[in-house]
Amino acid sequence: RENDYLWGRLHGAERLIDIVLSALDPARTLKPGRTAAIKRALFLAILDEEEPKLTAVPGLFETLRREIG
């Protein structure tokens, strides 16, 4: 259950970023890599917030941090 909750938060955060960025004026673009940097920072913030609370999936946090970089 904790696994699903965490993945839901991460996926929801990614979708919100994509939705917000899709609403930008087409004439405005982000520098290459900026979207990835925003998502990375948000994902790491979510992991930092949830890790102390979600104790049933400790290995998942380590794995995700490695994948996120």
Q: Is the pLDDT of residue 17 over 90?
A: yes
Assigned token pair, 63: 């794995």
What's the pTM value of the predicted model, to 2 decimals? 0.90
Cα 19 to Cα 48: distance, rounded to the nearest angstrom? 24
* pLDDT confidence band for 29 (50 / 70 / 90): confident
Q: Is the pLDDT of residue 64 over 90?
A: yes
* Torsion angle of the four alpha carbons 47, 52, 54, 55, in this order, in degrees rounded to the nearest 10: 130
The string of pLDDT tens digits covering residues 33-62 is: 999 999 999 999 999 999 999 999 989 999
Q: Is the pLDDT of residue 66 over 90?
A: yes
Domain limits of the chain? 2-68
- Which residue reads 């996120």 in tokens? 68
Angle (CA) 17 24 33, round 5°: 55
Q: Is the pLDDT of residue 26 over 90?
A: no
Count of residues making up the chain = 69
